[in-house]
């Protein structure tokens, strides 16, 4: 077993409880477009089983409104792209106004891991703008200095549970999976990380607490009591 050399973080639901802000942003976009769509928390919890905002909207459109015609004569893809742009703008505005904070223990673990020489990476299916606005507000303008690799929806189009984002992250880190550990919050994230050979710590949230986390190394409520030494011990166990 290699010693622990890198931590790979998911973003939405893992670094921060972002899903409520995402849900509000989706509904804002639907209203702005004049659609009668409205996702409540229960529906959104189900839709989160589909990774990716555009994929989520496409699934909903096809499942719930199969007979709905394209809006303004534009194709489904164009409409989804437009809705996603409206949603992203609404989410970015919400984050800048303080709607989202990092989950307990996240910032201290990132900082201590960085100080102790662990390499830090991000492996997410969210868009680059969502990552940037969240971490710029939570950590500061130099947030990118903490992460040596960032893989996201723009670089890994195959969404979790497909392991592409983790495989690419490991390749860019230049490390074997046995030297790294993933931190996730969902079953899809866990499946993606495990498929890439990563030991995975799960920190569930209100939207993922019901998921099946079979195969996780550990499931903890949050990272408040998780320290680098503990991660090293779990990794070697």
Q: Which tokens in the block code for residue 113?
A: 């891991």
Report if residue 1 sits inside a domain. no
Give yes or no: residues 55 and 125 share one domain.
no
Do 11 and 130 touch, CB atoms closer than 8 A?
Answer: yes
Give yes or no: residues 210 and 105 share one domain.
yes
CATH of residue 175's domain is 3.40.50.1000
**Of 96, 115, 148, which residue constitutes the final position of a domain?**
96
How many domains does the chain divide into?
A: 2
Give yes or no: residues 60 and 138 share one domain.
no
For position 231, what pLDDT does the model report? Answer: 98
Report if residue 137 sits inside a domain. yes
Confidence of residue 237 (pLDDT cuts 50, 70, 90): confident
CATH of residue 75's domain is 1.10.150.240
- 30 lies in which domain range? 19-96
Query: Looking at the predicted structure, is the pLDDT value of residue 69 above 80?
Result: no
Q: Which residues are catalytic?
A: 10, 12
For position 65, what pLDDT does the model report? Answer: 81
Do 51 and 188 touch, CB atoms closer than 8 A?
Answer: yes
Q: Which residue has the higher pLDDT, 77 or 113?
A: 113
User: Count of CB atoms within 10 A of residue 26's CB?
Assistant: 25
Cα–Cα distances (Å) from 34 to 37, 67, 70, 136, 188, in that order, read 9, 17, 13, 32, 32
Predicted confidence (pLDDT) per residue in 19-45, tens digit: 999 999 999 999 999 999 999 999 999
Predicted confidence (pLDDT) per residue in 138-184, tens digit: 999 999 999 999 999 999 999 999 999 999 999 999 999 999 999 99
Going by the DSSP 8-state scheme, the letter that residue 12 receives in this structure is B
């Amino acid at each position: 077993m290699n010693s622990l050399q890198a931590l790979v973080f998911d973003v939405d639901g893992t670094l921060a409880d972002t899903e409520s802000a995402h849900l509000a942003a989706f509904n804002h976009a639907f209203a702005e477009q004049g659609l009668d769509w409205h996702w409540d928390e229960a529906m959104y919890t189900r839709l989160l089983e589909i990774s990716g905002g555009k994929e989520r909207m496409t699934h909903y459109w096809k499942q719930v409104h199969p007979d709905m015609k394209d809006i303004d004569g534009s194709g489904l893809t164009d409409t989804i792209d437009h809705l996603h742009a409206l949603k992203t703008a609404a989410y970015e505005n919400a984050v800048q106004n303080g709607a989202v904070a990092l989950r307990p223990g996240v910032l201290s673990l990132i900082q201590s891991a960085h100080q102790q020489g662990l390499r830090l990476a991000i492996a997410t299916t969210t868009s680059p703008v969502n990552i940037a606005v969240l971490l710029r507000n939570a950590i500061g303008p130099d947030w990118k200095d903490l992460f040596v690799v960032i893989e996201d929806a723009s670089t890994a189009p195959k969404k979790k549970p497909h392991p592409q984002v983790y495989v690419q992250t490991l390749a860019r880190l230049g490390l074997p999976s046995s030297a790294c550990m993933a931190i996730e919050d969902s079953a899809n994230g866990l499946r993606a990380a495990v498929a890439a050979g990563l030991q995975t710590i799960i920190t569930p949230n209100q939207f993922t607490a019901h998921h099946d986390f079979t195969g996780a190394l550990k499931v903890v409520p949050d990272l408040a009591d998780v320290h680098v030494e503990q991660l090293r011990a779990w990794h070697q166990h």
